[in-house]
Amino acid sequence: MKFSLLKRIRHLFEGAFVGSAFIFFHHLLPTKQSLALGGWIGRNFGPLLPWSKRARRNLRKCFPDMTSIEIKKIIKEMWENFGLLAAEYASPDAFWDGKTLRNIEIVGLENLKHFQNDGKPGIIFTAHTGNWQMITLAAQSIGFDLTQMYRPANNPWVDTLMLKCQKLAVKNVITKRQGGPRDLFSLIKRGEHALLLIDQKLGEGMAIPFLGREAMTATGVARMYLNQNCPLLPARSERLHGSHFRVTFYPPINYVPKGDHRQDMYDLLLSINTMLGEWIKERPGQWLWLHRRWKN
């Protein structure tokens, strides 16, 4: 009972803090100053937070030859990216206002248009790199509305606000907590399109190498591809400088099944994890190293 009360009080204070920050960044501060302040807070205060220890452990696991100075630099970049990202979530109009796309360079637009118009359902998959919300905004700029899977926050007050921020940029959202996988399957069966982030920690799935270490990997995208003939389109967000981005839509995955379903699942997921890993290695400071992605 005492623990539950303390948890509620903590959630309430966290919610009040996040809510106040949202009001300040979204309503009170001009967009340019909001973005600059978000990045400044991230790079100066983020490395001091206890979660940085987990990021440091993850980096050492994946890059055992990396020096302490290099790790420190990546963690600082990661927090700056996170601070900018938080401010950008509160200011989606700075990038797409329903008419004009700003500060987003699109590469591979022909891949996205073909994916949109091929008459099939589809899943765009990505990772927590740069600002992944820019993928949704880039798609909206050509009249392509994606449904995004949203993972609820543990704090209900923070979750309410995060979902509000999500819906500022994404018209259609389904949550993992409320029958999300089932809703996703129904959406694909109806011939629609979704955006999934597939690089987070998972307690189930298949153990697949990711950045050189086995990690439990969600099998949903592989099942959709192999069982439902659902095209998979890789998309990547890169922060070029400040709040300027490059969004790249790659050619769709072209994996030919061998006939052994479990092995096909493994091989397909391995190719996807390898692709995501290459993106992360190219810009390690733009990935969220805070996840408990690998078992100790």
| CA separation for the pair 49, 46 (Å, rounded) | 5
> Is 54 part of any domain?
yes
Claim: this prediction has a pTM higher than 0.85: yes
Q: Is 268 in contact with 255 (CB distance < 8 Å)?
A: yes
For residue 91, what pLDDT is reported?
82
Could you give the C-alpha distances from 271 to 144, 195, 266, 274, in angstroms and in order? 27, 18, 9, 5
Q: How many structural domains does the chain have? A: 1
Domain that holds residue 57: 2-286
Q: Is 276 in contact with 237 (CB distance < 8 Å)?
A: no
Q: Is 75 in contact with 59 (CB distance < 8 Å)?
A: yes
Task: Walk along the chain (296 residues) and give the pLDDT tens digit of each residue.
Answer: 444 766 666 666 565 656 666 666 665 667 788 888 889 999 999 999 999 999 999 999 999 999 999 999 999 999 999 999 888 887 888 898 888 999 999 999 999 999 999 999 999 999 999 999 999 999 999 999 888 877 766 666 666 666 666 666 677 777 766 566 778 888 888 888 999 999 987 767 899 999 999 999 989 899 999 998 899 999 999 999 999 999 999 999 999 999 999 999 999 999 999 999 999 999 999 999 998 888 76
| CA separation for the pair 244, 269 (Å, rounded) | 30
> Is 64 part of any domain?
yes
> Is 74 part of any domain?
yes
> Is 293 part of any domain?
no
> Is 235 part of any domain?
yes
Q: What is the pLDDT of residues 122-170, one digit of tens each?
A: 999 999 999 999 999 999 999 998 888 777 666 666 666 666 666 666 7
For residue 2, what pLDDT is reported?
47
> Is 11 part of any domain?
yes
For residue 1, what pLDDT is reported?
47
> Is 291 part of any domain?
no
For residue 97, what pLDDT is reported?
86
Nearest to 104 by CA among 148, 139, 145, 143: 139
> Is 296 part of any domain?
no
